[in-house]
């Protein structure tokens, strides 16, 4: 039996059956970094736990490790480097929208996308953009959510998958998982524990959202 230290609560419960049969949902994934959430989605598709496909992965950092993971799963990639847009976030998002539309995506998944979505992106895919954040929103929005939780001295934190609206980290919550904080936790150990739960609720929330909406 697991000790209370391992206790994790996922709300709502993970769907037992993922997507209904039919055409796979086309997911456009946006990622900036290591891509462990991208990999969780790609692996769930490979395992047939998710009736979806990823026609395109867009990344914004030329050296993002997510690219290697995309190769492993034979997912096409497109680099859109925000540094080429001289701070014009709307123009950058315009290019992102163009590539997503070219690839006829049904849903947009921000899987560690370290850019704030401008209204033009949110309005291009209304109620069809999903984001993951490493805290129990509405607590600790913005950057350094793990460090914020440690500093606040809270005893539990977690992760949230939500729909993206124009205000940052504020859209309707689809799924959350709770992770206990232990006295010995550091930002690194806590982030590792949170990420394990992120991978579960990212897949579960995509299944839930895309099958219901």
Residues that are catalytic: 133
Q: Whose Cβ is closer to ligand GRF: residue 145's or residue 208's?
A: 145
User: Which range touches ligand GRF (CB under 6 A), out of 26-34, 55-63, 117-125, 161-169?
Assistant: 26-34
Cβ closer to ligand GRF: 9 or 102?
9
Report if residue 37 touches ligand GRF, rule: CB under 6 A: yes
User: Token digits for 158?
Assistant: 């977690």
For the CB of residue 35, give the shortest distance to ligand GRF in the complex, in Å.
Answer: 5
d(Cα 213, Cα 211) in Å, to the nearest integer? 6
Q: Which of 18, 10, 37 is nearest to 114 (CA)?
A: 37
Among 36, 60, 157, 176, binds ligand GRF (CB under 6 A): 36
Instruction: Fill in the per-residue mask, 105 to 124: x = in contact with ligand GRF (CB under 6 A), - = not in contact.
Output: ------xx------------
Interaction between residue 210 and ligand GRF (CB under 6 A): no
Q: Which spans of this chain sit near ligand GRF (rule: CB under 6 A)?
A: 31, 33-37, 111-112, 132-134, 195, 198
């Amino acid at each position: 039996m697991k000790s209370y230290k391992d206790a994790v609560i996922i709300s709502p419960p993970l769907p037992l059956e993922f997507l209904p049969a039919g055409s796979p949902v086309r997911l456009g994934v946006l990622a900036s970094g290591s891509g462990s959430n991208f990999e969780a989605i790609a692996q769930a598709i490979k395992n047939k736990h998710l009736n979806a496909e990823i026609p395109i992965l867009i990344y914004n950092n030329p050296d993002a490790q997510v690219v290697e993971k995309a190769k492993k799963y034979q997912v096409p990639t497109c680099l859109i480097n925000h540094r080429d847009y001289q701070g014009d976030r709307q123009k950058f998002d315009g290019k992102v929208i163009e590539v997503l539309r070219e690839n006829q995506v049904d849903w947009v998944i921000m899987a560690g996308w370290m850019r704030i979505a401008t209204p033009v992106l949110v309005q291009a895919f209304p109620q069809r953009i999903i984001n993951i954040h490493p805290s129990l929103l509405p607590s600790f929005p913005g950057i350094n959510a793990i460090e914020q939780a440690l500093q606040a001295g809270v005893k539990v934190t977690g992760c949230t998958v939500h729909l993206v609206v124009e205000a940052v980290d504020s859209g309707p919550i689809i799924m959350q998982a709770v992770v206990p904080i232990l006295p010995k936790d550091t930002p690194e150990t806590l982030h590792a524990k949170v990420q394990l739960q992120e991978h579960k609720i990212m897949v579960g929330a995509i299944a839930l959202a895309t099958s219901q909406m």
